[in-house]
Amino acid sequence: MTIPSRVGICPDLRQETFELPAQAVSVADARNRAYQRLRQWGIAPDVCSTARLVVSELFTNAVLHTDSDRIGCLLHVADDQIRIEVRDQGSYASTPMLHFPRSDEERGRGLLLIETIAQTWGVESAGPGLGHIVWAVIRP
């Protein structure tokens, strides 16, 4: 599967896509790109910070739990909501789902955090063998 290679900005729609290597160092780049673009679109700083956290968690999950080479991200602002999508190329051991870790576990709270701060979120298959799209919607 190839993540659409078209990287760009559509200012009228306030939509941007980008993709980065599926490496831990890319997580910071993804969250900073999201924050900066949303600020350029006039989104309030606190909402941009929430979106940055969502991008960070979803991107981290794709890096850690898939065998992707590249990970794509879509930011879309319309109708008083921000939709964030992270698309991987790989396969998860299972479909991404909420995990309720024990208090002594150090990991496993990413989607629980998304559940708490997003209005809604979900997972879609990109097609057989084509990875997943994990998305979240937040409202300013």
> What does the pLDDT look like over 81-105, one tens digit per residue?
999 999 998 765 556 555 555 555 5
> Which 3 state secondary structure label does DSSP give 118?
coil
Question: Rounded to two decimals, what is the model's pTM?
Answer: 0.80
> What does the pLDDT look like over 4-42, one tens digit per residue?
434 555 545 799 999 999 999 999 999 999 999 999 999
CATH value of 22-138 in 3.40.50.10540, 3.30.70.3420, 3.30.565.10, 1.10.760.10: 3.30.565.10
φ, ψ (nearest 5 deg) of residue 51 = -60, -40
Amino acid at 51: A
φ, ψ (nearest 5 deg) of residue 97 = -150, 165
> What does the pLDDT look like over 117-136, one tens digit per residue?
999 999 887 777 778 899 99
